[in-house]
Structure formats: structure tokens, C-alpha cells
Structure 1
Amino acid sequence: MRRVRRDWHWDTPRPRTWPEQGAVVPAPPTDLGWARVEPVRSIRYLIQRVLLLPFTEAMVHPKIEGREWVRELARPVIFAANHSSHADTSLILHSLTDTARDRTVVAAAADYWFKHPILGNIVSLFLNTFPFSRTGGAQAQLHSSSQLLKSGWNLVLFPEGSRSPDGRIQEFKPGVGHLAKETGTPVVPMHIRGAYQVMPRGQKLPLPGPVRVRIGKPMTVQAAEGSREFTARVEKAVRTLAAEKRQPDIQGTWVERWKASKPRELRYESEN
């Protein structure tokens, strides 16, 4: 218990992250803005530190690759990941730094998670979710998402629209590209491997098993690129993360290993 407490720093205060004027989001009441103000944010930080993150670590021991891309983010981004399990959200939050996690909102299917107000309020308290329609109202959805980004929040989106029925990546819907193009927000591709085996559709509770979360290089929409073209490029980036070979362990003296493990300089893809 002492080791777990030391590792997770339960007594660590919630980090003061990007400009606190973004704490109150000018979003419609249906977007559950109450979940993004104090003291709710501090309560959620405690819940995640005491319950969600230790439980995720204990069940699947997720391996995180590419966290350096998150560590140096200085502006809001869209995290775009494949979706095969209800465990995906907790795995993504587990993979983020404290600073990024504290400023991250998760898009959740309005027709599933918010059909019953009590359930919607619970998941919003635990995960900082907002209802995302899968059936229409694209313009209103774009406005709400844009307001969150402009207020300094990261967004977690699952561009496939729903959980994969077989664990394989499905075609991405163009919404992520449209939102990125309209707001000029970078997109960070992510791939989660193993979540389908841990908690596929129909599975009520997660099973132990190996999981890997791989985070890619932030991407920005190029000047002459359409939203559908950019969406296709994001999908390709996620598929590439899924196919990349595992990085070999760093060898050498502790000094050489330390130098090799230093985060790379953060550059957005369009700057190449």
C-alpha cells in the first residue's frame, strides 16, 4: 500500500494548468459545463488518482509509448484514437500527463451515455465527458466542440464513431478533420492495442491482459488540404502506429540511456 501511494502520489495537489480563465466553458447546459468548474475538477482529480488510474494500472499494466509528444504540448489539441472498447477512455487518460489530463474533455456518445441523466452525470464527474451526437446536428456539435477548444481544453475524439465490432480499425468519419480545419487545432493520433481483448462489446467488466497505448506526432491541417483529406491522413497515422514495430530497449551506460530517453524536440508535422 505504501508503494502504491508513493507511485500514484495521492496527496499531490491538482496541477494548475493552462490559463484558468478557461475553467468556465461558455458551452450550452447540455454539454455539462458544471463538470469543468471548481470544486468538481478537484473532486475528479482525486477520484482519478485514487480509483481510476490505480485500477487501470492494476488490471492491465498499460505500456505507454510516445508520451513525450504530450509532455511538451503548449496549446489545446484533439486526441484522435481508435475505438474498440469501453476501456479506451481510461487508457487514454492514463497515458496523459497530469497537466494534459486535467485539461482534457472526452466526447461520449449522447445516445448511449446520456440517455439516462444519472449515468451521464456520473461519467461526466469521473471522466469529464460531454455529449457528442452520432446522429445529426453537425453544426451545433461543431460549435460546442470549438468553444471547448477555444477555452483551452483538449478533446478526446473517436473518429470511427462507435466501438469496432471485431477490434480492427474502422473507417474514420470526417468530423475530426472538419473540426481541426475550422479551429486550426493540432491532432495527436493515438493507437490502443489490447483493449478489445480486455473489454470487448458485451463485456461488463474488464479482464486482465496486456495493453499498449502508442501516441504519435501532432499533426496540423495543411493550407490546401480539405477536411476529408486530413481525416484520411489522421486515419493513416493511427494505422501506422498500430503497425510500427516495438522499439528496442535502450542499451549502454546509464548516461547513454538517459540521453537517448530524453524527449525529442516537439515539432508539428506540417513544419517539416
Structure 2
Amino acid sequence: MPWYSGDRGPMQLARAIGDVVGDVQRVRRGWRWDTPRPRTWPEQGAVVPTPASDLGWARQEPVRTIRWLIQHGLLLPFTEVMAHPKVEGREWVTELERPVIFAANHSSHADTSLVLHALSDRARDRTVVAAAADYWYKRPLLGNVVGLFLNTFPFSRTGGAKEQLHSASRLLKAGWNLVFFAEGSRSPDGRIQEFKPGLGFLSNETGTPVVPLHIRGAHRIMPKGQKLPLPGPVRVRIGKPMTAHAKEGSREFTARVEQAVRALAEEPGQPELQGTWIERWRALKPREPEYLD
């Protein structure tokens, strides 16, 4: 009797879905994605209050398996087709021994998928993304969708230090990596904006290293205000993990991370161009030869 006939149809369908989820989970375990947290990780950081919601369901099974299917079947292939990302410095994050904060410049909605694309499968599976609470979570449906696709959690862009530590501190100490856009909002012209000190505060309070990243080209794919992406080449450059020096304050450490991201943006042997992306593009455009009369 086929599964769709008779009274036992729904039960058999549920069992079949459960078998598929179990198969994917076994594949993930075979790739060592569920590596337990090392016992040597220190429990650092201040105790912070629990927010009303941090989308904890997005980090539970079977949601993690569903997200793996969505990312490998849709998000990552789409990112590859649209941007053909060139990743430099991946060796810094291939075998992470403890959680880190990925601090990247922010000029496009495409930045998150580009960062995730640059990570190894193992690191990506243990990575959460801080998403602006006032932008992505005004509508519950939208917040749940990005939580499912990207493993996000709501993060206040305007709150004080304790508010910024709410979910991020607990997630880092629980063994999750964190994608953090320290500029607070997307750059309107593609240039790096000043980093906010919450990055350094979070790193210092939890004892978490910061990995600087620079994304070049995302602003041309999907600049601020544009609804749909356009194809274009992208380069993601990953730097060496950084930790705060002894007695280095949050603002000083944040400024040092910002300088590291700016250094990753530089092209050896080329002068730094100023202005909007269209002005920089015009400056690089080949000039017509001039002929003497």
C-alpha cells in the first residue's frame, strides 16, 4: 500500500521525513561539524541579563539541519554564481580551536552571505550573525526567515554596552563564532566607516579573539537602497586573529581592529583611491591617448 493511501499515510510520511533528517545529520557528524566545545575554554565575561528572544530555536535540531540544506542547496551556490568570491587568508580560520568574532566592513546586504561563503563548512556551522534588531526584527516573519537562513540573532545598534552583550556574550561562551559588523550600518558609498567600540568591549569582556575581514566589491553588487543584487566580482580577505593587549581599552582595541581591516583593503603597489565607487571607477578607467599637433 502506498504511503499516501489509508490511515497510516501521515505517519509514514513523518517517518520518511525523519529518516531524511537523520541521514543529513549523520553526514554532518561524519564531517566533524558537531565537535564538542573543548573543556579548556575559559568561562570569562560578565553575567548579562537574558533578552526577550534571541532566536534560540534557530540553533536547535532539526532547524540546523534544515539550514544546512538551504545554505548548500541555495544560498552558497547563488553567492558563487553572482560574485565568484575570491577568498584570501582562509588558512587563518580553517581549524579554529575556540570561538572568534569575525569583524568585517559593511557596505551591502550581500556581506553576510559572502562571509559565510568564505568560511569552512565546520566554522560556518558554528557561526551566528548579529543582525540589527531595529531593521530585521520589526516584522516577526522577516526576523524568523533570516534566523533560519543565516542563523542570526537580534542585536541592538543603539543600546549601551550591557545591551550589546546580551545574547552575544552567552553565544560566544557557548562555543559559537560571531559575525559582527562594527560600523553599525551599511556604508552609503562603500568606504569603511568608523568602528563602534562595542566590538572591543565584547571581545574584552568575553576574552574572544577578533578576526578582521575585508570585503571588496559587495557595494557594487547590492549597494544600500538597492532591492535586488547584480552580478560582479568580489574578494574576501581574512586577516590574522587579534587579541587585546594588556590594559588595552575597548576603544583602543576597536580602533586597532579597524586599522587591520583597512590594511586588508589595500592593494600592494596601488595608491589608495578616494571618493565614491563611481569616482574611483572613473579614476581607473583607461584614458584616451593624446596626440600632439
**Residue in 1 that maps onto 2:53:** 30
Match of 2:123? 100
Q: Residues of 2 paired with 1:77 and 1:11: CA distance? A: 25
Aligned partner of 1:208 among 225, 231, 248? 231
Structure-1 separation of matches of 2:83 and 2:25: 24
> Is residue 13 from structure 1 mapped to residue 22 from structure 2 by the alignment?
no
The question of whether the paired residues in 1 share the 8 Å contact of 2:51 and 2:166 is answered with: no
- RMSD of Structure 2 on Structure 1 (CA): 1.9
> Highest Rg: 1 or 2?
2
Q: 1:158 to 1:231 in 2, by over 3 A?
A: same
Q: Does the 8 A contact of 2:25 with 2:65 survive in 1?
A: no
Aligned to 1:4: none
SS of 2:93's equivalent in the other structure is helix
Question: Residues 32 and 137 of structure 1: is their aligned pair in 2 closer, same or farther, counting only changes over 3 Å?
Answer: farther
TM-score (structure 2 length as normaliser)? 0.76
The alpha carbon displacement at 1:27 in A equals 5.7
Q: Tell me what 1:83 maps to.
A: 106
Aligned residue number for residue 262 of structure 1: none
Deviations 1:28-76 (A, max 9, x none): 4511000001110011011000000000001110000000001021100
Q: Kindly state the Cα deviation for residue 208 of structure 1 after the two structures are TM-superposed.
A: 0.7
Aligned partner of 1:58 among 78, 81, 100: 81
Is the Cα–Cα contact under 8 Å of residues 147 and 153 in structure 2 kept in the other structure?
yes
* Structure-1 residue corresponding to 2:63: 40
SS of alignment partner, residue 168 of structure 1:
coil
Q: Offset of 1:170 from its aligned partner?
A: 0.2
AA paired with 1:162?
S
1:18 is matched by which residue type in structure 2?
A: T
Detail structure 1 runs of 4+ shifted over 2 Å in the superposition: 10-18, 26-29
Partner-residue secondary structure (3-state), 2:27: coil
SS across alignment from 2:265: helix
- Paired residue for 2:156, among 133, 140, 152? 133
Name the stretch that deviates more: 84-93 or 217-226.
Answer: 217-226
The answer on 1:179 being equivalent to 2:202 is: yes
| Inter-partner Cα distance in structure 2 for 1:227 and 1:128 | 27
**Distance change in 2, residues 1:131/1:11 (3 Å):** closer
Alignment pair present for 1:193 and 2:216: yes
Q: Supply the distance in 1 between the matched residues of 2:248 and 2:179 (Cα, whole angstroms).
A: 22
Distance of 1:142 and 1:28 partners within structure 2? 10
Structure 2 gaps, min length 5: 1-23, 39-48, 270-293
Question: Are residues 1:144 and 2:167 paired?
Answer: yes
**Percent of residue pairs identical:** 76
**Mapped contact 2:156–2:163 kept (Cα < 8 A):** no
Deviation at 1:19, TM superposition (A): 1.5
SS at match of 1:200: coil
Partner of residue 19, structure 2: none
| One-letter code aligned to 2:66 | I
Q: Structure 1's 72 and 96: CA in aligned 2 closer, same or farther, altered over 3 A?
A: same
Partner of 1:266: none
Match in the other structure for 1:226: 249
State the AA in 1 paired with 2:252. Answer: E
Provide the rounded CA distance (Å) in 2 between the counterparts of 1:243 and 1:158.
19
TM-aligned CA deviation for residue 12 of structure 1: 9.0
2:98 match: secondary structure:
coil
Tell me the TM-score normalized by structure 1.
0.82
The match for 2:145 is 122
